[in-house]
């Protein structure tokens, strides 16, 4: 497991790259990466969440948006329910077994059912092991012993826990104390900052990779910024859109490994990917960003 010092050094090194977002398409540059602390594996810093294309079962639309991410080195696809089998079909058809980092959700309360679903995903994709099996507990703490056995048995290379509400933070922190959590998925954004108080610092201390959900609060963020001018000072950290403004705020936190974005629109996908390029805001700039968004609401 990486030390906190090495983890922070790796995160800091990933925050500045030579290309600005406007040159993303022309340069065909690949996203910077950050390390998964428990394994040292590199993961690109912008990933895909549960796209409507996956939920609808539209394989062509799913490929179009996956391709936009793949073209710029994005690997992580986080998907649940029947949508994961749609993604698995695309992975198999396009030969992406080695270039997609597939994360999905399983019930530790249904060991047999979860193992069957995992086996089906492995058969479809041709992967030897799933990349990440997440628990998404509705109430309380999942049966962590069951999840550890999934990893020990080779069903998955990483295990984690995912939630999107502060009421689950204490349980998530309790799991991190066991020293066996590889990934934590949590909500954190310009409108939901509570995870920065205890959860994100603990993830750094415990060597846990952090993926961020709800970067746009299911679209509520865009309702707030719609029809407003992006401030000129956003150019100081190579920001060209309100979407990038939100994502760069998140990516500037040293605990964050990857932020997950949800879209079925390739144009929006490219805009989101642009947040991973160029400079990121420093602490003073991040405070200014929070003050600005706070003044809108």
Dig out the tokens for 250 from the structure: 């998140």
| Cα distance between residue 162 and residue 133, in whole Å | 10
- Segment 30-49 shows an average pLDDT of 96
Domain parsing of the chain, residue ranges: 4-296
End-to-end CA distance of the chain: give it in Å, rounded: 42
- Asked whether the beta carbons of 183 and 208 are under 8 A apart, the reply is yes
Dig out the tokens for 248 from the structure: 């760069």
- Segment 105-115 shows an average pLDDT of 94
- Residue for token pair 């079925």: 264
- Is 180 buried (19+), middle (13-18) or exposed (0-12) by CB count in 10 A? middle
Average confidence score pLDDT of the chain: 89
Helices (H) and strands (E) in the chain, counts: 13, 10
pTM (2 decimals)?
0.90
Tell me how far CA of residue 123 lies from CA of 151, 225, 248, in angstroms: 17, 44, 37
**pLDDT tens per residue across span 51-104:** 889 999 999 999 999 999 999 999 999 999 999 999 999 999 999 999 999 999
Going by their DSSP bridges, the two strands 183-187 and 258-261 should be labelled as unpaired
Residues of the chain above pLDDT 70, percent: 89
H or E element that contains 70? helix 59-70
| Cα distance between residue 116 and residue 130, in whole Å | 13
- Residue for token pair 């939920």: 55
**pLDDT tens per residue across span 138-186:** 666 788 999 999 999 999 999 999 988 888 888 899 999 999 999 999 9
| Cα distance between residue 215 and residue 212, in whole Å | 7
Task: pLDDT band for 27, please (50, 70, 90 cuts).
Answer: low
Task: pLDDT band for 137, please (50, 70, 90 cuts).
Answer: low
Going by their DSSP bridges, the two strands 132-135 and 159-162 should be labelled as parallel
CATH classification number, 4-296, choose in 3.20.20.100, 3.40.50.80, 2.30.31.70, 3.40.50.620: 3.20.20.100
Is the pLDDT at 5 greater than 50? The verdict is no
pLDDT of residue 135: 87
Residues of the chain above pLDDT 90, percent: 78
């Amino acid at each position: 497991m990486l030390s906190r010092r090495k983890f922070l050094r790796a995160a800091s090194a990933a925050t500045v790259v030579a290309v600005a977002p406007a040159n993303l398409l022309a340069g065909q540059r690949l996203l910077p990466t950050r390390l998964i602390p428990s394994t040292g594996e590199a993961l690109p810093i912008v990933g895909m969440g549960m796209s409507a294309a996956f939920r609808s079962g539209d394989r062509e639309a799913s490929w179009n948006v996956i391709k936009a991410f793949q073209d710029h080195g994005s690997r992580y696809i986080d998907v649940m329910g029947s949508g994961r089998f749609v993604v698995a079909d695309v992975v198999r058809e396009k030969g992406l077994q080695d270039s997609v980092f597939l994360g999905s959700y399983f019930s530790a309360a249904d060991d047999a059912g979860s193992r069957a679903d995992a086996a089906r995903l492995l058969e479809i994709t041709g992967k030897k092991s799933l990349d990440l099996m997440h628990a998404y507990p509705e109430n309380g703490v999942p049966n962590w012993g069951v999840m550890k056995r999934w990893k020990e048995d080779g069903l998955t290379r990483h295990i984690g826990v995912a939630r999107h509400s502060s009421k689950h933070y204490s349980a998530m922190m309790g799991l991190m104390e066991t020293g066996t959590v590889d990934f934590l998925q949590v909500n954190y954004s310009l409108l939901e900052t509570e995870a920065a108080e205890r959860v994100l610092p603990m993830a750094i201390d415990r060597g846990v990779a952090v993926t961020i959900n709800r970067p746009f609060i299911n679209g509520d963020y865009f309702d707030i910024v719609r029809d407003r001018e992006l401030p000129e000072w956003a150019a100081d950290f190579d920001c060209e859109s309100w979407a990038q403004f939100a994502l760069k705020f998140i990516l500037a936190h040293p605990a964050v490994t990857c932020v997950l974005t949800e879209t079925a629109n390739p144009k929006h996908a490219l805009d989101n990917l642009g947040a991973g390029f160029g400079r990121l805001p420093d602490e003073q700039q991040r405070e200014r960003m929070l003050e600005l968004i706070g003044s809108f609401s």
